[in-house]
Amino acid sequence: MNQPSAAHERIMAEAERIQALGEAAEREARDPVNQPTINNWLEAMGNTNPRWKAGEAPPSMAQVWTMYGLGGKPPADDPLHGMMKVLTDEGFTAVLGTNCEQEYRRTLTVGEQVRVTTALESVVGPKRTGMGEGYFVTSRNTWYVDGADGDAEVVATMLFRVLKFVPKGAAS
């Protein structure tokens, strides 16, 4: 049986540290849910359902409201970006999205202000894949709005898994 490398031990120690921090602080969407953004999304997706023209956002837009935008940067405490940096620093420079599991609890309506938190679910590896050796990194995002009673209401969740790897043939 092979002994874990020093790099593996550093990676897993950082994964454990980041996981122990729990969810990153809530990050508020740049803008409230709004019809112009819904209209742009509908056009880009080719969605012509008239339901989305009357103040409701398709549930699959949950992530749209809290994206960073072209000039945006993740906060320093973002667990996914923190873990990705650790892996990059250890030479795992390539990224491949592997899967995404989303749950939509309800539609959003125009005027609602969305917030998101992110947590590091797991880091598994090293694994040898057809792309190269790397680590599977899974994060969990949770989107909230204020409910009628003022309490935070979960409206959507997403598990997002990527492979952060050293491409086959690349020097490690």
**Tokens read off for 155:** 């409206």
Q: Which fold has domain 6-167?
A: Thiol Ester Dehydrase; Chain A (3.10.129)
Q: Is there a contact between 161 and 136 (Cβ–Cβ < 8 Å)? A: yes
The predicted model scores a pTM of: 0.88
Q: What are the residue boundaries of the structural domains of the chain, listed by start?
A: 6-167
Vertex 87, ends 166 and 159: CA angle to 5°? 100
Q: Is there a contact between 133 and 127 (Cβ–Cβ < 8 Å)? A: yes
pLDDT digits (tens, 9 = 90+) for 67-95: 988 888 888 889 999 999 999 999 999 99
